[in-house]
Amino acid sequence: MSYAKIRATKELLELLPKKVIKSLRIIEGEELEIRSKREKKGSIRELRGLGKELWMGVEIERYVRGERKAWEENLRI
C-alpha cells in the first residue's frame, strides 16, 4: 500500500464531487492522507491445477501418443 499527504486546496475541492466532500467531511486547507491499495501481481503458482477437470478421465500416455502421431502425419504432407 502506498500513500501521499496532500492539502485540500480550493482547486482540489473543485475537482471532487460535492457528495464526496460532504461524506468525507473534507475542509479546505486541511491535510489529507491518500492511500492506494495496489493489486498484488499474481504468481504463476496461482495457476496450478487450473483446468484439471478437463483432463479427468483422459489417459495421458494414449493422448500424447495420438498427438505425436498426428504431428508426424502433418509433417509428411
Residue 17 neighbours by CB under 8 Å, 6+ apart: none
Decide if 28 contacts 6 (C-beta within 8 A). Answer: no
Which pLDDT score, from 0 to 100, does residue 69 have? Answer: 93
Number of domains in the chain: 1
pLDDT over 70 at 43, yes or no: yes
Instruction: Categorize the per-residue pLDDT at 19 as very low, low, confident or very high, splitting at 50, 70 and 90.
Output: very high
Quote the domain boundaries for residue 16: 2-38+52-76
The verdict on residue 63 lying in a domain is yes
The verdict on residue 45 lying in a domain is no
pTM for the structure as a whole: 0.42
The verdict on residue 11 lying in a domain is yes
Q: pLDDT: is 51 or 76 the higher one? A: 51
The verdict on residue 43 lying in a domain is no
Collapse the DSSP code of 24 into the 3-class scheme (helix H, G, I; strand E, B; otherwise coil) and give the result: helix
